[in-house]
Amino acid sequence: MIPNHSFEADEHSSKPDKPEEACGVFGIYAPGEDVAKLTYFGLYALQHRGQESAGIATFEDETVHLHKDMGLVSQVFNESNLDHLPGNLAIGHTRYSTTGSSRAINAQPVVVQTRLGKIALAHNGNLVNTKELRQELLSRNCEFVSSTDSEAIAVAIGSEVDKGKDWLEAAISAFGMCRGAFSLTIATPKGVMGVRDPHGVRPLVIGTLPTTPVRYVLASETCGLDIIGAEFLRDVEPGELVWITEEGMASFHWSKQQKRKLCIFEMIYFARPDSQMEGESLYSYRLRLGRTLAAESPADADIVIGVPDSGIPAAIGFSQASGIPYAEGLIKNRYVGRTFIQPTQAMRESGIRMKLNPLRDVLDGKRVIIIDDSIVRGTTSRKIVKALRDAGATAVHMRVSSPPVTHPCFYGIDTDNQDQLIAATKSVAEIATLMEVDSLAFLSRDGMLKATNEDPKSFCSACFTGDYPIEIPEVVKRSKLILEKAAT
């Protein structure tokens, strides 16, 4: 039997009511530059991709300098410890845990010793065959210090190096052992690698510094290039390995089964709106989502507002298409972050006021359309609706610029088990009743994909359909797909 979804406090109530991205990665080869500081700023721009831990590894010839810890990038690093990270090349990582718990030992980059020297690795994504990979490596007498799939990739490369292969041969051999989503930056004494899995589920881009000779930068998103003045060159392609050394950048297509399946949630929510994908900012795509939503699901109202920050571009698009004025109805406290201090019971009952506060004089007496990018568990959405009504809204119509999330992700997004996804257990009408809205509508899957202006088949949208492009072992699938397990 499937448990009924509850809005009351439970073991999941402390989790953010949004999908959480796995990580941000960065890499740079730039002799003569302050690579640690450039990496710091790159990670600073990628902070939205993970807020649990951060780390930088630099290579000074054969010597690795590593600093990593729990916390935000600005908390982990300062001028002093950055000064102790000399070198010609670096990689960096900012993490939200998906495989491996949130502990300092699981912070990245991962560093592994090999016969050719040390290797450092930063990973965005999630393997689906971690257990089998670890067992294979343990049978080779390899050792592990953490519980992450990322360490398994690094150890696999090290194991191949120790068999007599060079860095490139070892890396390509190890990637053939990995199944799932992985965008990687890898540092060795010889150079830096940027790698994507054959489906390119997670993004990775290449930039150039305005130096002579040209130096190369890798980042999860183009915003990580912009902050240090690097110019976007191109994406690392699915199934590609780029090898950046003193000779420049070389490209190797290590997999012959490339078939792009970029995570559509990168477009909808994860990536920063100022990051570029396919020649335009994601802000532009999110505007189109809002316009499409207005065409599909209109409502009679006085104002359109967005849930800050991720719902705002779609709200502006909805306003443009509908002709209904856009207004700011909710103010976000951007400095709350994650606090370990529990609020009082009265504060908990007041809902979300620590992070979002309604503007009463904007909302009072108004029929409101509120736009959000997604609904996962629904807990936050219900509190927002209540706050709007308490501020005097006479009607609340909720519109969501993505389809209902009905399936968990296995490729690097931290989503609940299926029974905690409200759209997996309830109809749209039932969700509307629970949220106490006057109407509720989600964007269609076709509308979401058509708005990309790209081939719809080039995206992974498994969280909306259950159609997983990379085969998932049954034991892994059943760990989250509670509905399927209950039906058997």
Q: Which residues are catalytic?
A: 23
What would the two tokens of residue 16 be? 């953010």
Q: How far is Cα 163 from Cα 488, in angstroms, rounded to an integer?
A: 44
CB 412 within 8 A of CB 99: no
Tokens 């899957």, residue located:
445
Which residues in 246-339 belong to E strands, given as ranges? 248-253, 262-263, 276-277, 280-281, 303-306, 330-332
State whether residue 181 is helix, strand or coil: strand
- Count H helices, E strands: the chain? 19, 25
Q: How far is Cα 193 from Cα 202, in angstroms, rounded to an integer?
A: 16
* Sheet hosting strand 439-442, strand order edge to edge: 303-306, 367-372, 395-400, 439-442
Cα–Cα separations (whole angstroms), residue 424 to 375, 410, 413, 417 = 11, 16, 17, 10
Q: How far is Cα 45 from Cα 274, in angstroms, rounded to an integer?
A: 11
Q: What is the gyration radius of the CA atoms in the chain, in angstroms?
A: 23
Cα–Cα separations (whole angstroms), residue 351 to 125, 391, 417 = 32, 13, 24
Q: How far is Cα 24 from Cα 44, in angstroms, rounded to an integer?
A: 10
328 Cβ contact list (under 8 Å, min separation 6): 305, 359, 362
With residue 82 as reference, give the H or E element that holds it.
Answer: helix 79-83
Q: How far is Cα 368 from Cα 300, in angstroms, rounded to an integer?
A: 9
CB 49 within 8 A of CB 220: yes
Tokens 């007498």, residue located:
141
CB 128 within 8 A of CB 410: yes
Number of alpha carbons in the 13 Å side-chain half-sphere of residue 396 = 27
**Angle made by CA atoms 106, 110, 112, in degrees to the nearest 5:** 130
140: amino acid identity, one letter: R
Long-range contacts of range 145-149, CB-CB < 8 Å, 24 or more positions apart? Answer: 145/105, 146/100, 146/105, 146/106, 146/110, 147/99, 147/100, 147/101, 147/106, 148/99, 148/100, 148/106, 148/108, 148/110, 148/123, 149/99, 149/100, 149/123, 149/180
